[in-house]
Amino acid sequence: MKKNLLGKMVITGIISAAMLASTAASTWAADKSDKDVLRVGMECAYAPFNWTQDTDTTPDGSKAEPIYGSDYYAYGYDVAVAQKLADQLGMKLEIHKVEWSSIGISMDAGDYDCIIAGMGKTAEREKSYAFTEPYYYRDNCIVVKAGGKYDDVKGLSDLAGTGCKVTTQLGTGWVPLLDQIDGAEQSGNYETTSECFMAISNGVADVCVVDVPTAESAALTNKDLKIINLDEKDTFKNDDEMVNVCIATRKDDTELRDKLQGAMDDIGWNDKEKMDELMDTVLPQQPAANFLAKKYSSMFLEGTWLTLYIAVAGTILGFLLGYIIGIIQDIRINEGDSILKKGIFKILKAICRIYVEVFRDTPMIVQAMVLYYGIRQANVNITPLFAGVMVTVLNTGAYMAETVRAGIGSIDMGQREGAWAMGMSPMKTMIYVVLPQAFKNIIPEMANTFLTNLKMTSVLNVIAVQELFMAAKTVGGNYYKYFESYLVIAVIYFVLCFVFNRLFTFLEKKMKKTENYALAVEYMDNP
Residue range 238-280, pLDDT digits in tens: 887 788 999 999 999 999 999 999 999 999 998 999 999 999 9
For 77-88, b/e burial (b = at least 16 CB within 10 A) is bbbbbbbbbbeb
Q: Which residue positions in the chain have pLDDT lower than 50?
A: 1-32, 289-293, 516-524, 526-527
Element (H, E) at 260: helix 254-266
CA 501 from centre of chain: 25
CATH topology of domain 139-242: D-Maltodextrin-Binding Protein; domain 2 (3.40.190)
- For residue 2, the model assigns a pLDDT of 40
- For residue 5, the model assigns a pLDDT of 43
CB 218 within 8 A of CB 144: no
CB 98 within 8 A of CB 108: no
Q: Name the nearest CA neighbour of 407 among 330, 349, 350.
A: 330
Q: Name the nearest CA neighbour of 406 among 322, 332, 349.
A: 322
Q: Which DSSP state fits 154? A: -
CA gap 216, 48 in Å, rounded: 9
- For residue 295, the model assigns a pLDDT of 60
* For the chain, domain boundaries: 32-136+248-285, 139-242, 293-523
Other Cβ atoms within 10 Å of 204 Cβ, number: 15
Enumerate the β-bridge partners of residue 375: none
- For residue 314, the model assigns a pLDDT of 93
CATH number of 32-136+248-285, picked from 3.40.190.10, 1.20.1260.10, 3.20.20.450, 1.20.120.160: 3.40.190.10
CA 486 from centre of chain: 15
Q: Name the nearest CA neighbour of 446 among 2, 75, 5, 3.
A: 5
CB 391 within 8 A of CB 368: yes
Percent residues over pLDDT 70 in the chain: 88
Are 32-136+248-285 and 293-523 in the same CATH fold?
no
pTM (predicted TM-score):
0.72
CA gap 257, 259 in Å, rounded: 5
CATH topology of domain 293-523: MetI-like fold (1.10.3720)
For 336-357, b/e burial (b = at least 16 CB within 10 A) is eeeeeeeeeeeeebeebeebbe
CA gap 134, 155 in Å, rounded: 27
Residues 6+ apart with CB under 8 A from 434: 408, 411, 415, 416
Sheet holding 129-131, edge to edge: 92-97, 37-42, 114-115, 248-250, 129-131
